[in-house]
Amino acid sequence: MLQSEIEKSLEVLNKGGLILYPTDTVWGIGCDATNPEAVKKVYDLKQREDSKALICLVSDTRMLAKYIYEVPEVAYQLLDASDKPTTIIYDNPINVAGNLVASDNTLAIRVASDEFCQRMVRQFKRPLVSTSANISGYPTPQSFSEINQEILKGVDYVVNLHRDKKCNKPSTIIKIGNDGVFKIIRK
């Protein structure tokens, strides 16, 4: 079942489509983080200004290093020490859609810990946009049943896994500069 859902998701992602999927935190809307048209579809669906950055998922730190010009050593230490999903905002992203990069030339990336997400991103071989499955300004759904119909109808595929699961809270977000200085944005 898991591999079947991964294959269906990859088919949609490879065509520039949007998926709705369970992550290691909350239900997310996802697309190919290297495809600017797909990223625009996410902003449009969420009715969100593209000046508000989105998070990406990578499968591991090797993949992370392909999308950040220089990963500060402290980031690896934080990821190793973290016992919960942690998103880090990095300076100087590379090889991703331009409309995904924040105006200050940063990008938020989380190394996925959920088995489905890890395997899907590894097989996709590119980072995946991961943003909460809600219209901008509305609360983040805590379960599949709370997801707005507009979101459900606006994606190209809804992953058929973990629909009965209550979601964890969103990830911790930490901003790390190339100088190694970091700031906790969300606990």
* Contact (CB, 8 A) for 145 and 167: no
**The pLDDT of residue 82:** 86
User: Which residue's structure tokens are 């219209």?
Assistant: 135
Q: Which residue has the higher pLDDT, 143 or 62?
A: 62
Looking at residue 93, the DSSP 8-state letter turns out to be B
pLDDT at 162 over 90: no
Q: Name the token pair of 100.
A: 């995904």
Q: Which CATH number do you get for residue 11?
A: 3.90.870.10
d(CA 111, CA 136): 24
d(CA 184, CA 31): 26
**The pLDDT of residue 178:** 81
**Domain around 9:** 2-186
- pTM of the predicted model as reported, rounded to 2 decimal places: 0.93
User: Which residue's structure tokens are 């990008």?
Assistant: 107
Q: How many distinct structural domains can be found in the chain?
A: 1
